[in-house]
Amino acid sequence: MAQLQAVRGTQDLLPAEARRHRTVIETARKIAERYGFGEIATPIFEFTEVFSRPIGETTDVVSKEMYTFKDRGGEEITLRPEYTAGIARAVLSNGLTQATPLKFFGAGPMFRYERPQKGRYRQFHQIDAELIGAAQPQADVEVIAMGAAILDELGVLKSCRLELNTLGDTESRTAYRAALVEYFTRHLDKLSDDSRDRLGRNPLRILDSKDEGDKAIVADAPAFSAYLTDPAKAFFDEVKRGLDALDIAYELNPRLVRGLDYYCHTAFEFITTELGSQGTVLGGGRYDGLMAMMGGPALPAVGWAGGIERLSMLIAEPPAPARPIAVIPVGEAAELEALKLTQRLRGLGHVVDLGYSGNVGKRMKRADKIEARVALVLGEDELARGAVTFRDLDAGSQEEVPLDGLAERLKGLA
């Protein structure tokens, strides 16, 4: 029989790595609550249309990367590739459009079929924030500020730079798209296959091509700033003014685009140099057209997503869990009393390990292996005296402690 392995592009989160993931999520959740963002959890699969309509049938996500299948009822279902469209669907499904502005925070797994790389998996995890129903540029500033606060709390912000751009309004993008098509068409024979494919359906994506030949062509492409309408310029100026007021440093990157079709105005990414080419740890932008695209009212919105895998690689080692107390029964008569003692100590908030078999020597070896702080030995003699033998494994000392004084004795541990 072949050795069982995890599917390519997936990983097992063993306790140490799970602790790092949990640190990222819990830190983000704490900061999000300070900003008034309530937690939301949407299903990890939706009807395919939830993603294919807003993300865009011609994007790489929909055409190449989504995990789509028919369930036993014949419905076409997709494992969620990103959070935003599912949260938008939840707002519409639950009749929340009259309760804006809405602030949501979420965390969970996403699924995309793409080439696994450092910090990128086919099942990956994200933290996510969405502010729905606020058209003002101050909303963009707030979600960026919250992202920066989370990164700062994680100790990651100091190794990141914030890149900022505007995708303008509809009029701006329409004019710029036409200019890009005209420019790239003149260089069609030098573009990569992917960029030639994108030219007719999403030419803005050519701007962030990783192909070296494409980069040389992109360097001389028209600048978006020349096609921005006055209202789009004013909006972006307000975003920059707000970030300046909060002392949030940023770099303007006119080539920064978002990969999904529903973005407009502000686009941003927090990027680190510590993860090689996969440097974006948190990014997002404004997406005023999404709700209407999904059949709802034209609600403005802005949000971001952050990669938990990448963030977990950047944070300091989280505090280890409390060292356990090892309870070691000696003899059959002590087994039941040891079980009761273990339960009592856990009820007092202690981490307790009860070995299930083996003599005292074997159980002491287990206590050493799990780095127990204390071993409590309970045998017939101790039972007769209503006490335990208390072994301080750090100090190498031993004493007998009455059972009714054990809770107090354990309080004194360093």
Strand partners, 302: 131, 286
The DSSP letter of residue 63 is: I
Distance CA 41, CA 111 (A): 16
Q: Which residues contact 22 (CB under 8 A, 6 or more apart)?
A: 318
Measuring CA to CA, which residue among 66, 75, 70, 68 is closest to residue 111? 66
The SS3 call for residue 153 is helix
Q: What pLDDT is stored for residue 59 in this prediction? A: 56
User: CA angle 256-292-169, nearest 5°?
Assistant: 35
Q: What pLDDT is stored for residue 86 in this prediction? A: 95
Structure tokens at 376: 């409590």
Distance CA 367, CA 328 (A): 9
Instruction: Give the predicted TM-score (pTM) of the model.
Output: 0.88
Q: Which residues contact 179 (CB under 8 A, 6 or more apart)?
A: 222, 227
Distance CA 103, CA 379 (A): 58
Q: Which residues does the annotation place in the binding site?
A: 82-84, 112, 126, 130, 258, 262-263
Per-residue pLDDT of the chain (414 residues; tens, 9 = 90+): 457 898 888 999 999 999 999 999 999 999 999 999 999 999 999 999 998 876 655 455 665 788 999 999 999 999 999 999 999 999 999 999 999 999 999 999 999 987 777 667 899 999 999 999 999 999 999 999 999 999 999 999 999 999 999 999 989 888 988 998 999 999 888 888 888 888 877 788 888 788 888 888 988 888 888 899 999 999 999 999 999 999 999 999 988 877 566 788 999 999 998 877 668 999 999 999 899 989 999 999 999 999 999 999 999 999 888 999 999 999 888 999 999 999 999 999 999 999 778 788 898 999 999 999 999 999 988 999 999 999 999 999 999 999 999 999 998 775
Q: What pLDDT is stored for residue 102 in this prediction? A: 97
Strand partners, 76: 70
CA 161 to chain CA mean position, Å: 18
Structure tokens at 382: 């101790």
Q: Which residues does the annotation place in the binding site for L-histidine?
A: 82-84, 112, 126, 130, 258, 262-263
Strand partners, 127: 107, 306
Strands (E), 43-113: 45-47, 68-70, 76-79, 102-111
The structure tokens 């003149």 sit at 186
Cα Rg, the chain, nearest whole Å? 28
Strands (E), 73-183: 76-79, 102-111, 123-132, 160-166
Q: What is the largest CA-CA distance in the chain?
A: 94
Domains for the chain: give ranges and CATH numbers: 15-169+229-314 (3.30.930.10), 325-409 (3.40.50.800)
Q: What pLDDT is stored for residue 78 in this prediction? A: 95
Distance CA 31, CA 79 (A): 28
Side-chain-facing half-sphere of 89: CA atoms under 13 Å: 21
The structure tokens 């999403």 sit at 202
Distance CA 106, CA 41 (A): 6
